[in-house]
Chains A and B, each alone.
Chain A
Amino acid sequence: MPPLGSLHQILWFGVLLANSLLAFKLWRQGLHRTYRSFWISLLLNVLRSVVLMPLNPRSAAYGYIWLASEWILLVCFVLVIVEIHAGALAGYRGIATLSRRIFNYGLAAGILLSAAILMPSMADGQKSPLLVYTAVFERGVVGALSVFLVVLLAFLLKYPVPLNRNIAVHGLLFFIYFISKNLLILILQFAGYQASAQVSVFLMVLSFLCAAGWMVGLSPAGENVLIRSATPVPGTSAAKLLTHLEVINASLSRASRR
Chain B
Amino acid sequence: MEPVWMWGAVAAVALATVFAAFAKKLLYPADQNKLDPAWLEAFDVAHYRPMERLLDDSDVEFLCGLDGFRPGMDTQLLRTRRRLFRGYLRALTRDFNRLAGFVRLMLVFGEEDRPDLAAALLRLRWQFTLAVLALQLRLELHRFGLATVDASPVIGMLGSLRGAMAAGHA
Real complex partners, A and B?
Answer: yes
Residues of A within 8 A of B (CB): 92-98, 101, 153, 156-161, 163, 168, 172, 175-176, 179-180, 183-184, 186-187, 190-191, 195, 198, 227-228, 230, 232-234, 238-239, 241-242, 244-246, 248-250, 252-253, 256
Residues of A contacting B101 in the complex (Cβ-Cβ under 8 angstroms): 160, 232
Q: Which residue of A lies closest to B40 (CB)?
A: A248
| Option from B5, B104, B113, B162 in Cβ contact (under 8 Å) with A160 | B104
> Given A94-B114, A180-B12, A248-B37, A256–B166 Cβ distance below 8 Å?
yes
Interface residues on B, range: 35 or more
Report the number of A-B residue pairs with Cβ-Cβ less than 8 Å: 132
CA–CA, A27 and B5, complex, Å: 39
Q: Which residue of A lies closest to B163 (CB)?
A: A256
> Given A159-B104, A228-B29, A233–B34 Cβ distance below 8 Å?
yes
Residues of A contacting B137 in the complex (Cβ-Cβ under 8 angstroms): none
Does B23 sit within 8 A of A, measured CB to CB? Answer: yes
Residues of B within 8 A of A (CB): 2, 4-5, 7-8, 11-12, 15, 19, 22-23, 25-27, 29, 33-37, 40-41, 101-102, 104-115, 118, 162, 165-170
Residues of A contacting B26 in the complex (Cβ-Cβ under 8 angstroms): 153, 156-157, 163, 168, 172, 227-228
> Given A95-B118, A175-B19, A183-B8, A252–B35 Cβ distance below 8 Å?
no
Residues of A contacting B109 in the complex (Cβ-Cβ under 8 angstroms): 92, 94, 230, 238-239, 242
Q: A94-B112, A94-B113, A230-B109 are in contact. List 12 more A-B contacts (CB 8 A).
A: A92-B108, A98-B107, A160-B29, A161-B108, A176-B19, A183-B11, A186-B8, A187-B8, A233-B34, A234-B34, A245-B37, A249-B166
Beta-carbon contact of B108 and A248 below 8 Å: no
Interface SS of B by simple majority: helix
Residues of A contacting B7 in the complex (Cβ-Cβ under 8 angstroms): 190
CA–CA, A233 and B110, complex, Å: 17
| Option from A95, A156, A183, A245 in Cβ contact (under 8 Å) with B12 | A183
From A94, A158, A183, A227, residue with most partner B Cβ within 10 Å: A94
CB distance from A30 to the nearest CB of B (A): 24
10 smallest CB-CB distances across A and B, nearest first, come from A94-B110, A97-B115, A253-B170, A232-B35, A249-B169, A191-B4, A244-B37, A96-B113, A187-B8, A98-B118
